[in-house]
Structure 1
Amino acid sequence: MYLTSRELALVSDIFALLADHAMPEDVLRFEVGRRLLDLLQADFLASYVWDDTLGRFDRRVSINMSDDNLREYEQHFQFNDPIAPRLQPLRTAVRVTDVVPHEELVRTEIYNDFLRRDGLHWGMNLFVWAGEQNIGDLRIWRGEHRENFSDRELALFELVRPAFTAALVRSRAAPLPAADHNGAPADPDSVNGALSLLTPREREVVALVAEGLLDKEIAQRLGISYTTVRTHLDRSFHKLGVSNRSRLARLLRR
Structure 2
Amino acid sequence: MYLSRCRADVLARVMGTLAEPLQEQQVRLQLGRLMLQLLDAQFFASYVWDEAGQRFGRGVHLEMDPANLAGYERYYQFHDPITLRMRQHRRAVRATDVMAQPALRRTEFFNDFLARDGLHWGINLYAWDGADNIGDMRIWRDRRHANFSDDDRDLLDLVRPAFVAALRRSRTAPPAPTAPPVPAAEPEDGAIAARLLSTRERQVAGLAAQGLPDKVIAQRLGIAVTTVRTHLEHAFRKLEVPNRAALAHRLRA
Please give the range of the TM-score, normalised by the shorter of the 2 chains.
Answer: 0.7 to 0.9
Question: Within 2, Cα distance between the matches of 1:243 and 1:204?
Answer: 10
- Structure 2 counterpart of 1:73: 72
- Structure 1: state its 5+ residue gaps: 180-184
- Structure 2 counterpart of 1:35: 34
AA aligned opposite 2:56? F
Write out per-residue CA displacement over residues 135-160 of structure 1, whole angstroms, 9 at most, x where no aligned residue: 11100011111111111111111111
Write out per-residue CA displacement over residues 74-111 of structure 1, whole angstroms, 9 at most, x where no aligned residue: 11101111111101121110011011111211111110
TM-score, normalization by structure 2 = 0.76
- Structure 2 counterpart of 1:12: 12
Matched residue SS, 1:59:
strand
Question: Within 2, Cα distance between the matches of 1:173 and 1:146?
Answer: 39
- Structure 2: state its 5+ residue gaps: 183-187
- Structure 2 counterpart of 1:151: 150
* Structure 1 vs Structure 2 CA RMSD: 3.4
Q: Structure 1 pair 250/79, CA: closer, same or farther in 2 (3 Å)?
A: farther
Residues 47 and 139, structure 1, Cα contact 8 Å, conserved in 2: yes
Q: Displacement of 1:177 after TM fit?
A: 2.3
Q: Structure 1 pair 33/244, CA: closer, same or farther in 2 (3 Å)?
A: closer
Matched residue SS, 2:124:
strand
Task: Say if 2:140 is the partner of 1:138.
Answer: no
Question: Within 2, Cα distance between the matches of 1:122 and 1:240?
Answer: 30
Question: Within 2, Cα distance between the matches of 1:156 and 1:250?
Answer: 35
| Residue identity (%) | 41
- Number of positions where the alignment pairs a residue of Structure 1 with one of Structure 2: 229
AA aligned opposite 2:78? F
Question: Within 1, Cα distance between the matches of 2:126 and 2:88?
Answer: 8
AA aligned opposite 1:123? G
Task: Say if 2:93 is the partner of 1:94.
Answer: yes
Write out per-residue CA displacement over residues 39-62 of structure 1, whole angstroms, 9 at most, x where no aligned residue: 111111011111223322112111
TM-score, normalization by structure 1 = 0.76
Matched residue SS, 1:147:
coil
Task: Say if 2:112 is the partner of 1:113.
Answer: yes
Matched residue SS, 1:37:
helix
